[in-house]
Amino acid sequence: MAFHASDSTSSNHLTHERLGRSTRSRGRNIVWTLAVLGALGSILLGAAVLVPAARASQIVSTSSVSDLTLGVNDKGEAMVSYTSNGKVVHVLAWGAVNAIAPVAGGVQLALNLQYDGGFAKYYTDNPVAKAAVLNLRLLQAQMTRDTATKNNARRYALAPEIAGAYKTLATLRTAAEDYWQTFSCPAYQGPTLAWEVAVCQAPDGSYWAIQEWQRQLPDYGIAPTPPQAAMEVHISHWTGALPILTISEDWSYKKYNHLFGSFTYNGTGVYGFSSTPGGQPLDTFGRNLYVDTFDSGYGKGWTRENSFLTHKTGGTFCYGFYPHGTHPAGNGTMYRATIMGPGLTPDVMWQGDAPAAYNAATEATAAQAILALGDPACVPV
C-alpha cells in the first residue's frame, strides 16, 4: 500500500478549455473547503515507518479503510487510526499548518507522517530512550569484563542495575506503543467541510480534519477498478479561513455545458508551475479539479467527468462538457467539483444544478464574467 501522498491522477487532464457564452450561473459558490538503536533482546525490537512529506491536504491512505478516527493533543500532533486489510494502523502527524502561496522553485508545507503510532519518535529516536540504551550497553560491557576476570562481587552488584535498565526501557517502550491512546477530539465549531469524517479543535486553537473521497476515479464515466474506486483518506491542519472554490456555469456553442471559476487561498490563486503533458503536477503547488456529473450520458448517478489543472492566472480554470473520442458529452442534471486544498488546508467542494436552457440574453453577462478571469485559455465561444 502506498501511503505517501501525491496530487497527480491517472486520469486524462484537460488543462485548457475554450468556454462558451453563459446563461446565469445556477451553481452555488460554496466555501468547503530506528534508525534502529540496536537489538538488545526483544525489548528493543521495533519498526519505524516515516512517510515522505506529502504535497496537499495530505493523503494518509490511497486505499479504502474502516474504523477511521482522529485525535489531537497539546503538542501540535494528531493521530489517525483505522483498520486496513484486517490490521489496525495508527498514524502520527505533526510539523506543519496552513499553506504558503505558490512560488516558483519553492516547496509547499507538508506534515510528517509516521505509520507506527509515534513509536519511532517517542522510543527509537527519543533522547531519554537512547540514553537508557547506552546505559544498558555500558552495564552489559562491564558485566562481560567482570565475567572474564571472574570478579563475582562486581557481577552480583551489576545484576540489579542491569535489571533496572531493562525495566526503564520496558516502561519507555510501553509508553511509546500506547501513545496513540493519549489523543482526544475536542469539538469543532467551524464551518462544515466537504467529505468530512472527523474534525477536531486542538488546544492551540488550530483545526485538524479527516476527509474521504474518490479522487482516483477514471474519467468519462468508465467503470473503476477496485483501487480506482477507493475512498482516499486525507488529513488537514489549518487556522483561519478555508480555501475558496468559486464556480459559475454557462453554455458553449449553444449546446455544451461549461464550468469556469477560480480556486484561491487568502486572496491568492492556487496553481503550480510545471506538469506532465497529461496534467499531472510536477511541483508541490499544482492542483487538479475533479469534476463529477450526475445522470449524464454515461448513465445514472454520479460519475467522474474529468480532472484538470488550475491555471497560473490566479488559480483560474474553465471546462466544457464536450464529447471525448468515443465518449459522449458529459452533460448532466447536476455537477460537483472537488479539489485538494493547498498545503495543509482542507479539500473543498462545489455542487450545483446544470445551467438553465440556453438564453442569448444572459450570454453576454456570462461572457463578461469569463473575460474577467483574465485567463487567455478561457474565452467565450
- For the segment 341-377, what is each residue's pLDDT rounded down to a tens digit? 999 999 999 999 999 998 888 888 999 999 999 999 9
Retrieve residue 264's grid coordinates. 484561491
pLDDT tens, residue by residue, 216-241? 999 999 999 999 999 999 999 999 99
**What is the pLDDT, as a whole number, of residue 20?**
29
Per-residue pLDDT of the chain (381 residues; tens, 9 = 90+): 322 233 333 333 333 333 322 222 333 232 222 222 233 333 333 333 333 334 457 999 999 999 999 999 999 999 999 999 999 999 999 999 999 999 999 999 999 999 999 999 999 998 998 998 998 899 899 889 989 999 988 888 988 889 998 999 999 999 999 999 999 999 998 899 999 999 999 999 999 999 999 999 999 999 999 999 999 999 999 999 999 999 999 999 999 999 999 999 999 999 999 999 999 999 999 999 999 999 999 999 999 999 999 999 999 999 999 999 999 999 999 999 999 999 999 999 999 999 999 888 888 899 999 999 999 999 998
Give the position of cell 482522529.
Answer: 70
Strand order in the sheet with 334-339: 299-309, 288-296, 334-339, 348-353
Per-state percent for the chain, helix, strand, coil, to nearest 5: 20, 30, 50
**What is the pLDDT, as a whole number, of residue 56?**
53
Give the C-alpha separation, 57 to 209, whole Å. 9
Give the position of cell 513509536.
Answer: 119
Retrieve residue 322's grid coordinates. 464536450
Give the C-alpha separation, 136 to 169, whole Å. 9
Residue ranges of alpha helices (H) inside 58-148 are: 119, 127-148
Q: How many other CB atoms are found less than 10 A from the CB of residue 294? A: 18
CB-based contact 72:209 (threshold 8 Å): no
Phi (first) and psi of residue 257, to 5 degrees: -70, 150
Q: Which residues of the chain form beta strands (DSSP E)?
A: 50-51, 58-61, 66-72, 77-84, 87-94, 112-114, 196-201, 207-213, 232-238, 244-252, 256-265, 268-269, 288-296, 299-309, 316-320, 334-339, 348-353
Beta-carbon contacts of 346 under 8 Å, excluding residues fewer than 6 positions away, are 32, 33, 57, 193, 194, 209, 211, 236, 238, 242, 243
pTM (2 decimals)?
0.82
Which DSSP letter does residue 356 get?
P
CA angle 289, 295, 300 (to 5 degrees): 110
**What is the pLDDT, as a whole number, of residue 219?**
97
Phi (first) and psi of residue 141, to 5 degrees: -65, -40
**What is the pLDDT, as a whole number, of residue 57?**
75
**What is the pLDDT, as a whole number, of residue 364?**
87
The full length of the chain comes to: 381
